[in-house]
């Protein structure tokens, strides 16, 4: 069924237009990577603060308030640039196991980030009292976002259906 959908999608005018303009895919990938830079660096700053490694000059909720909104903006740009990439080459993503693994990891990462953001409602005290849990959450967050980035790059290399 996905196969049929991919065939249909790749024959739509939008997909044909992308396929026929050689510059669209690299340009949209560039926007996609710039947005990943925003996500990764913002997440790094939050996670380093959770770990107590950097940013101690500021309270945890100030760090989350400074960086996490940028994650959401970047995720929206990633969603739209990602959709353009899928429309341009449907089979490359939708028939790829690595792509679906990436999407599952993304759901985990988004829920985790949302959870960290919502835990700030009472200030950062929740985490200051649970330093070990905070460090674990930070490491899991870094690992999941890095895995998403890696899966994204490997979509280009792993054989798909």
Partner 1 sequence: MTLHELFAGLEATPVGTAIRESTWLFPTIETVHVFAITLVLGSIAIVDLRLLNLASRNRSITELTREVLPWTWAAFILAALSGGLLFTSSAVKYTQNMPFKAKMLLMLVAGANMLVFQFGTYRSVSGWDRGTTPTGARLAGALSLALWFTVMSLGRWIGFTT
Interface ranges with partner 1 (CB under 8 A): 22, 25-26, 29-30, 33-34, 36-42, 44-45, 48, 54-55, 57-58, 66, 146, 149-150, 153-154, 156-157
Nearest-angstrom CA–CA distance, 66 and 54: 14
| Residue 10 or 146 with smaller CB distance to partner 1 | 146
In angstroms, give the least distance from the CB of 39 to partner 1: 8
Beta carbon of residue 61, minimum distance to partner 1 (angstroms, whole number): 14
Nearer to partner 1 by Cβ, of 117 and 146: the residue is: 146
Q: Considering beta carbons, is residue 44 or 95 the nearer one to partner 1? A: 44
Q: Considering the complex, what minimum distance in angstroms separates the CB of residue 72 from partner 1? A: 15
Cα–Cα distance between 126 and 103 in angstroms, integer? Answer: 30
Quick one: 133 or 150, whose CB is closer to partner 1? 150
CB of 99 to partner 1, least distance (A): 15
């Amino acid at each position: 069924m996905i196969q049929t959908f991919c065939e249909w999608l790749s024959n739509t005018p939008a997909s044909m237009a992308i396929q026929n303009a050689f510059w669209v895919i690299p340009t949209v990938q560039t926007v996609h990577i710039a947005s990943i830079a925003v996500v990764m660096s913002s997440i790094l700053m939050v996670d380093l603060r959770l770990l107590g490694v950097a940013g101690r000059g500021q309270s945890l909720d100030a760090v989350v308030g400074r960086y996490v909104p940028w994650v959401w903006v970047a995720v929206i740009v990633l969603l739209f640039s990602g959709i353009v990439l899928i429309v341009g080459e449907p089979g490359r993503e939708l028939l790829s196991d690595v792509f679906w693994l990436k999407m599952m990891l993304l759901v985990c990462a988004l829920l985790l980030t949302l959870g960290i953001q919502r835990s700030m409602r009472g200030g950062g005290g929740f985490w200051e009292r649970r330093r070990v849990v905070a460090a674990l959450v930070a490491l899991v967050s870094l690992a999941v976002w890095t895995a998403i980035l890696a899966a994204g790059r490997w979509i280009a290399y792993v054989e798909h259906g």
